[in-house]
Structure 1
Amino acid sequence: MSRHLLVFILLVFTYNVSCITIDLESAQAVRNVSSKFVGVTLDSGLIVQRWKTFNLTSQKVLTLAKGISPSYLRIGGTACDRLVFNRTNDHAYHPLTVADWDNLNHFVMNAGWDLIFDFNLFLRKNGNWDPSNAIELLEYTVKQGYKPAGYELGNEPNRFPSANAISEKQLAKDFAALKNIVSSSGVPPFLTIGPDTAGMTPDYVENFLEAGGGDVVDVVTVHQYYTNGQKATLKDFTDRKLLDKFIPEVDSFVKTCNEKAPNKQCWLGETSSCYHGGAQNISDRYVAGFLWLDKLGLSALHGLQTVLRQEFYSGNYGLIDINLNPNPDYWLTLIYKRLVGSPVFDVTQTTDPNVRVYAHCTNVSSSIGYKPGSITVYLYKPGSITVYYILQYYRL
């Protein structure tokens, strides 16, 4: 007869903890996620600002990056549509220098990450995307032997100003051009990723996929934030109603992906607690872990394959701060990646309907050394307590 051991890996005591019963024996595996389910972003605005205090050659930054590998690193954001490669004298746009590109690629290789780069969609000719600058970057990439994992085109096209508006049909055509020029460049296998809409907007995504985008992209992406960081309050970060808004959004997005782009991956291509850089003195504190942990649990359970956290550095929601020190969500991300693996289980508990519970097979490939058969459970109770738990369960 097998015996079972339940070990508390992370536990912070508080004054109001419910005793609940979790049925793991009858839990069903419903999804699979990869080791790169959790990834990160760096905003293209950092390049415009000449990287601020972020240092791609810093041993400290590299050590923190290695801690959450393997991971995708997306270079995107609003400023991506203002970047050009190796044109320091083009005053209409901001330069992505050869040194920038070299440092980025060396950084991801040393960290054990995979690079995703978002090309400038505003470079246009006769109404179509002009790929000439992208071709220049791709030729250099091949020459140097760099191997980015994926390419995007434009950021949040559903919110472009009217002067730069691009229809879903035209965007699908532009993505087809992107895939063609990357395929022709001789780079190693890559992912075509998009359309990276602002919000989980079903109409724009559906129209893009129906117009041909569904045949072109390998990964369908949207962005999601809970609320405005300039108006968010501490209470928002444990508000069950706010958390629950994500459920119909992700279900609608996944449904659209499955119907209009079957067998393609569905990602959150950029996401965090609050837009506008996060909430000051909240998004970088322990309480932000409630939103982050719940989003990871729901995303895995409801069919997303990857979640890219905005962002590794910068803003109030950065995993590391302006002094390159880790914020609480960095440590939560590190623990999650060390312990949480695949498949994903649908678990139930009937003791307290307010407690949210998620479970996966443990990541047995991590350095911690857990054995096959281990299960990682993470749970918390929004609103009334100030603690979340990550637990281990395995057969002896």
Structure 2
Amino acid sequence: MGLKCIFSLAILPTEKCNYNQCPWGKAGVLNLDLKKKGLINAIKAFNPLRVKVGGSLQDQVVYGVGGVKNCPNFMKNEDSLFGFSQGCLPMTRWDEHNKFFNQTGVKVTFGLNALIGRNWDFMKYTISRGYKVNSYEFGNQLSGAGMGASVEAEQYGKDIVVLKNLVEELHPDPKTQPKVLGPGGYYDEKWFNSFLKVSGHDVVDGVTHHIYNLGPGIQICLNSVDDPNMITKIQDPSYLNQVAQTYKGVLNIVNRFKSQSGAWVSEYGRALHGGAKDLSPTFVDGYWYLDQLGMASTYNHKVFCRQTLIDGNYALLNTTTSIPNLDYYCALLWHLLLGSTVLAVTQLSNPNLSVYAHCVKKKTGISIIFINMSKDSSFNVTLSNYEHQSHNLRSTDVAKPNFEFRGSKDREEYHLAALAGNIHGQIVLLNDVPMVPTETLDIPVMEPKLVNASTPISISAHSIVYLVGKNNTGGPCTKESRPI
């Protein structure tokens, strides 16, 4: 089953900085301008979009309801977790966000405080107002050695059982009952095994983990565009594939404990502490992002949460203007074109060409994404052995017409490339048309080009290609699984 895209909204104050960089600005949950037309239109284009509310400081958040007599702001305090004191989410602000979520059709995953929070009062308030939370994730980066704080696996397992019982008590109707997710931290095999053994099979609905496999963003900020080694890493398939062991390990644990909603990446940002200023918003970042989406799908992850929607250097939208960065369009095409059934692909041409295939979303047919990380090599690709769930691909220098989707004369192609070939730039071309919002800040229409289905697929150097082919004669892509 393929994965759904989800993006984070962080609970962070404007004063949050790392290494003298403050990339979050006024884009956190506590101060984001929810009336920005660009933000609203960008979310509506997904119809629906999942958003996770949480982040680094969620385990220091109290909720302005119930026994909370006042609602303090976060204050800088170097002796406290992540350098900030305990802070508060006012219920008036939660009201504003839910009005916004209803307006834009957002599905909400909420990150609960697993250390000091009064979750009962917050959840009761949410229910009393008729707000819909699709899932609750318990804690942030508390697994293993943790990030600033940690909880022993056995204790976390006991605590999440208490949370599950609370959710079931407050939501007795299984049809409207939010999912319970955890642990929302870095994968540690021993810790994950212990916590799931304590909690049992029927408690955790989704096993969530975080991935930041480039390390702190400051390293990239200091070395990124001027350091050819960093760009080489991002375009090196063998380097990208190292994280496959994490995906595989989490999947094995999920299969062992039969989590109902499987494995989720609930936070992924490539680089810690806000991302890489000179790299995250550029075209080259799309190679890394889309390859991880494809890899996560291959290892049967159900949901992939990009850090973040709008705050930090790694945001999908510009923190100030809400104008989409390149990865926004990559994610939107993934969301619109790739369905929930993943197909096996054997790619025999070149390691610099990554290929992933899914059944088409809401239609009969297949969708393939090609990620060409080579700066020098272009490919003409043909598809062979189109049967069952095995798709063998090869490149050819000759236009050999053995590429065919059954039941269709034409296929749809979406070619993404950097403006003027500058992969360090922030403008992406779709079929040679710059992707920029309209004067009214609407997301531009993403039109495919129609290509004769019998011809090879032409993939330029340093480009990304989505391909959609209809198949009206059966095969593995005849129906979609139910959404999560």
Alignment of 1:168-183 (within 5 A): 168-183=153-168
Match of 1:248 among 229, 245, 248: 245
Within the candidate set 287, 294, 301, 2:284 is matched to 287
Q: Report the secondary structure of 1:69's partner residue.
A: coil
Using the TM superposition, give the Cα deviation of residue 349 of structure 1 relative to its aligned residue in structure 2, in angstroms: 3.2
Residue 167 of structure 1 is matched in structure 2 by: 152
2:56 corresponds in structure 1 to: 78
Deviation at 1:58, TM superposition (A): 2.4
Deviation, 1:235, is: 2.6
Q: Distance in 1 between matches of 2:15 and 2:136?
A: 20
Residue equivalent to 2:457 = none
Which residue in 1 is equivalent to 2:477?
none
Secondary structure of the corresponding residue to residue 78 of structure 1? coil
Match of 2:219 in 1: 231
CA distance in 2, matches of 1:278, 1:240: 21
The 1:165/1:306 distance shift into structure 2, 3 A limit, reads closer
Bigger relative contact order, structure 1 or 2 (CA pairs below 8 A, ≥6 apart): 1
User: CA separation of 1:237/1:46 partners in 2, compared to 1, >3 Å: closer, same or farther?
Assistant: farther
Query: Following superposition of structure 1 onto structure 2, how do residues 146-225 of structure 1 map, counting pairs within 5 Å?
Result: 146-158=131-143, 159-160=145-146, 165-186=150-171, 188-198=176-186, 200-212=187-199, 214-225=201-212
Answering whether residue 128 of structure 2 is matched by residue 143 of structure 1, we say yes
The residue that corresponds to 1:373 in the other structure is: 364
Structure with the higher helix share, 1 or 2: 1
CA–CA separation in structure 2 for the residues paired with 1:100 and 1:205: 34
Greater shift in the superposed pair: 279-288 or 101-110: 101-110
2:429 is matched with none
1:1-396 alignment, distance < 5 Å: 32-33=1-2, 37-45=4-12, 52-53=26-27, 54-86=32-64, 87=68, 88-90=70-72, 93-123=86-116, 133-158=118-143, 159-160=145-146, 165-186=150-171, 188-198=176-186, 200-212=187-199, 214-228=201-215, 229-232=217-220, 233-323=230-320, 324-364=322-362, 372-384=363-375, 385-395=461-471
Q: Which residue of 2 aligns with 1:126?
A: none
- Contact persistence 1:239–1:383 (CA under 8 A): no
Contact kept in structure 1, 2:308 and 2:315, CA below 8 Å: yes
Please report the TM-score for the alignment, with normalisation by the length of structure 1.
Answer: 0.81
| Inter-partner Cα distance in structure 1 for 2:272 and 2:150 | 22
What is the SS of the residue equivalent to 1:316? coil
With over 3 angstroms needed to count, the CA separation of the structure-2 counterparts of 1:48 and 1:264, relative to structure 1, is farther
| 4+ residue segments displaced more than 3 Å | 46-51, 87-92, 159-162, 261-264
Please name the residue that 2:413 is paired with: none
Task: Give the match's secondary structure for 1:248.
Answer: helix
Distance 2:89 2:274 in 1: 23
Q: How far did 1:59 drift?
A: 2.6
Residue type at the aligned position of 1:191: K
SS at match of 1:157: coil
Shift of 1:395: 4.3
In the alignment, structure 1 segments of 5+ residues that lack a partner are: 1-31, 124-130, 365-371
Q: Closer, same or farther in 2 for the Cα pair 1:89/1:48, shift >3 Å?
A: farther
Kindly state the Cα deviation for residue 206 of structure 1 after the two structures are TM-superposed.
1.3
- Structure showing greater radius of gyration is 2
The RMSD of aligned alpha carbons is 2.3
**What percent of counterpart residues are identical?**
26
Q: Does the Cα contact within 8 Å between 2:235 and 2:288 map onto a contact in 1?
A: yes
Q: CA deviation at 1:160?
A: 4.0
Distance in 1 (alpha carbons) for counterparts of 2:168 and 2:202: 15
In structure 1, what is the Cα distance between the partners aligned to 2:147 and 2:207? 23
